Homo-oligomer: A and B are copies of this chain.
Amino acid sequence: MSENKIPYKIYLSEEEIPKKWYNLRADMMNKPAPLLNPGTGQPMTAEELSGVFCEELVQQELDDTTPYIDIPQEIQDFYKMYRPAPLVRAYCLEKALGTPAKIYYKFEGNNTSGSHKLNSAIAQAYYAKKQGLKGVTTETGAGQWGTALSMACAYLGLDCKVYMVKVSYEQKPFRREVMRTYGADVTPSPSTTTEVGKKILEAHPGTTGSLGCAISEAVEVAVTHPGYRYVLGSVLNQVLLHQSVIGLEAKAALDKYGIKPDMVIGCAGGGSNLGGLIAPFMGEKLRGEADYQIIAVEPASCPSFTRGKFAYDFCDTGMICPLAKMYTLGSSFIPSANHAGGLRFHGMSTTLSQLYHDGYMEARAVEQTAVFEAAEQFARIEGILPAPESSHAIRVAIDEALKCKETGEEKTILFGLTGTGYFDLVAYEQFNNGTMTDYIPSDEDLEAGFAALPKIEA
């Protein structure tokens, strides 16, 4: 099809929404390392995991051989409420940059949770409901995951308890109200409602919280309340599995027009969006069918890939969760208070960590004022106010498009626009007022985190 026929937005039809998730691990030669029981140092068994997670999700977590997994009809029906998500050709941005590059973005923000998180939230809530549970517990940082889970739980009639990182709870009171509108209980973390929360508050009075703290609290509540399980919005293999719907849809839309991206760019916090977006492209790369440049973008203030260690570590600050082998800054790492938005987890998906370690993808760290410059430029030109998280990917996409302008290369760039910034206006206000600052942790800061890594040989 000739290029000028490509519309601004490529929508699949409802029937074209993927009916199976793609399990990237099935095509990996070097599988991600297993989760370990912190007590025994042995791989977590399905039985051990099922005290924390729903049974079907445990299966998905451990399954590294089945390439495609059916999406249950009920989840497909829910997807139809907000999917397919558009694949957008950024004609206006290309023109404004004067680049010969062709820029596409997969926009996951057109739903009330404001991000891609809903793709996994509905799946996890569905399996909890199917298991006959009463409710789920979780943590949320920037609040996108908590909102998504609240929506999914309201839809299915499940109870939902959310521990929200205190700094976000304070910066984003409206996120709390969205969750409350959807019927969730929202508690700022660390809190005195859990033993681990009390312990963290004692050790770090006045802490603004971290995802690691909030995870510890949510897990404690899940394992001490009958009929509850814990669910997590990122990092886990099961989450990347559910999020593969992003990449599958994006690839199907591109394939319709015979477009092959040269590079795929996504922001990376715990890896849910990135892992989902790149899944089918990485699959082709792993199987030797095609090559793509794949770029993870992370905040310079929380640089797990670019400055972390590839090692076994706790996923939570309270050290009650299983150990995961991943790029990590240490489970005690907390981004500096001036860090806005999400992407604040100390570790990274084990799957993406292995792929990065094996050289299948690269990573870049960017500073937040540069990220907000890109966000504002994008908002004015493309008409969408992006989430700070998504704007990390925008920053690198713009940088790459400008490189093409210099070299004259007509590269095709695909990036993930994970969500909208409607609840991030405190950060935008700082940027508008010129009071936003950058922060890069010193080597000494990071060494402290590395020194506390558990001593595991694996």
Contacts and interface: CB of A to CB of B under 8 A. Distances in A.
Copies of this protein in the assembly total: 2
A357 interface: no
Interface stretch (A39-47, A206-214, A420-428): A420-428
Nearest to A375: B181
A370 to B, nearest CB: 16
B154 A380 contact: yes
A104 to B, nearest CB: 14
Contact of A181 (B80, B173, B180, B376): B376
A432 interface: yes
Interface string A204-226: 00000000000000000000000
A195 interface: no
A290 interface: no
Interface residues of A, number: 42
Interface stretch (A7-15, A228-236, A332-340): A7-15
Closest 9 CB pairs of A and B: A174-B425, A8-B80, A154-B380, A422-B422, A177-B425, A7-B14, A112-B385, A177-B429, A180-B432
Contact of A7 (B13, B112, B178, B420): B13
A82 interface: yes
B432 A151 contact: no
Interface in A394-452: 420, 422-423, 425, 428-429, 431-432
B112 A420 contact: yes
A111 interface: yes
A381 interface: yes
A257 interface: no
Contact of A14 (B8, B78, B82, B183): B8
Contacts of A429: 173, 177, 180
B112 A379 contact: yes
A81 B376 CA distance: 17
A380 B20 CA distance: 26
Interface of A: 7-9, 11, 13-14, 78, 80-82, 92, 110-112, 114, 151, 154-155, 173-174, 177-178, 180-183, 376, 379-385, 420, 422-423, 425, 428-429, 431-432
A180 to B, nearest CB: 5
A174 B180 CA distance: 20
Given A111-B384, A180-B429, 14 more contacts: A78-B383, A112-B383, A114-B422, A154-B380, A155-B381, A155-B383, A174-B422, A177-B432, A178-B422, A180-B432, A181-B431, A182-B379, A422-B422, A422-B423
Contacts of A181: 376, 379-380, 385, 428, 431-432
B382 A178 contact: no
Contacts of A180: 428-429, 432
A110 B112 contact: no
Contacts of A432: 177, 180-181
Which of A8, A13, A376 has the most chain B CB within a 10 Å cutoff? A8
Contacts of A155: 92, 380-381, 383
A154 B381 CA distance: 8
Contacts of A81: 8, 92, 382-383
A394 to B, nearest CB: 14
26 contacts: A9-B14, A78-B383, A81-B382, A81-B383, A82-B383, A92-B155, A110-B110, A111-B383, A111-B384, A112-B383, A112-B384, A112-B420, A112-B422, A155-B380, A155-B381, A173-B429, A174-B422, A178-B422, A178-B425, A180-B428, A180-B429, A181-B379, A181-B431, A182-B379, A422-B422, A422-B423
